[in-house]
Structure 1
Amino acid sequence: MTTVVELESPADRLGVSETFERLPTFEFQIAGMIGASPPLVWVSGPDRHAVEAALEADPTVDVIASLADASDDRWLFRLEFGPELEEFHEIVSENNGAVLEAAAQDGTWSLKLLFHDRDSLSAAHSVFEDREFQVSIKRVTSLDDPSGGTSPLTSTQYETIVKANELGYFDVPRKVTLQELASELDISHQALSERLRRSHAALVSEELSNRMTPTGIDS
Structure 2
Amino acid sequence: MALRAEYHLGCAALPLVGVAAAVPDAEIDLAISPGMSDRPRFTVRVLGDAETVAAVEAEFERTPFVGECRRIVREGDATRYSIRPGTSMAEQLGDHLDNLDDLRALYETATHIERIRATPTGWVQTGRFADRAAFDELREFWQRNTDFRLRKLTRVGDDAGDGFGTGIDADDGDGLTDAQREAIRTAYRLGYFEIPRTATLDDVAAELGISASSCSERLRRAQTHLVETHVGSEAPLAGQPP
| TM-score normalised according to structure 1 size | 0.57
Deviations 1:147-179 (A, max 9, x none): xxx3x3xxxxxxxxxxxxxxxxxxxxxxxxxxx
Matched, 1:39 2:42: yes
Residue correspondences, number: 155
Structure 1 residues 19-30: aligned runs within 5 Å: 19-30=19-30
Q: Which amino acid aligns with 1:20?
A: A
8 Å CA contact 1:25–1:105 kept in 2: the answer is no
Aligned counterpart for 2:128 among listed residues 109, 114, 117: 114
- The percentage of counterpart residues that share the same residue type is 17
- Where do 5+ consecutive residues of structure 2 fail to align? 95-99, 166-230, 237-242
Paired AA for residue 142 in structure 2: F
Per the alignment, residue 101 of structure 1 pairs with 115
Partner deviation per Cα, 1:79-98 (whole Å, 9 max, x = no partner): 24552589586243244211
Shift of 1:217: 4.6
Give the superposition deviation at 1:20: 2.8
Deviation at 1:118, TM superposition (A): 0.5
What residue identity is the alignment partner of 2:44?
V
Q: Which residue of 2 aligns with 1:14?
A: 14
Residue in 1 that maps onto 2:64:
59
Where is the helix percentage greater, Structure 1 or Structure 2? 1
Residues 27-68 of structure 1 show CA distances to partners (whole Å, capped at 9, x for unaligned) of 21236x753442322113433332111012112333431123
Residue aligned with 1:14, SS: coil
**C-alpha RMSD of the superposition:** 3.3
**Alignment counterpart, residue 147 of structure 2, candidates 127, 134, 148:** 134
Q: Of the two, which has the highest radius of gyration?
A: 2
Distance, in Å, in 1 between the alignment partners of 2:6 and 2:119 is 15
Contact 1:3 1:118 in 2 (8 A): yes
Conserved? CA contact 1:34–1:100, under 8 Å: no
| 2:47–2:78 contact (8 Å) kept in structure 1 | yes
SS of the counterpart of 1:59?
A: coil
Q: Note the C-alpha offset of 1:6.
A: 0.7
CA separation of 1:63 and 1:133: change in aligned 2, threshold 3 A? farther
